Amino acid sequence: LPSFIIETCHEAAACASYSRRAKIKVDDFKFMLRRDPKKLGRVTDLLNLEKEFKAKRKAFDTDEGVLGKEGD
């Protein structure tokens, strides 16, 4: 498992380097996994889930802040 992670990161870094970027982006990992639909699908699902959580957290934090100010 650790060797898979290291190899994956090296391949993503190579994709970023080819695009003349110093930093690795999520798209580099997606590009690297393009030939493995199962892994690519899982990554896409997790990224979508993260977006949902961020939106819900933001909405909750906003609502909570409003409630806290009204109670003062």
Question: Is the Cβ–Cβ distance between 11 and 30 less than 8 Å?
Answer: no
Per-residue confidence (pLDDT) for residue 59, from 0 to 100 = 84
User: Tell me: the pLDDT tens digits for 26-50?
Assistant: 999 999 999 999 999 999 999 999 9
Per-residue confidence (pLDDT) for residue 67, from 0 to 100 = 55
Per-residue confidence (pLDDT) for residue 32, from 0 to 100 = 93
Question: DSSP of 47-67, one letter per residue?
Answer: HHHHHHHHHHHHHHHHHHHHH
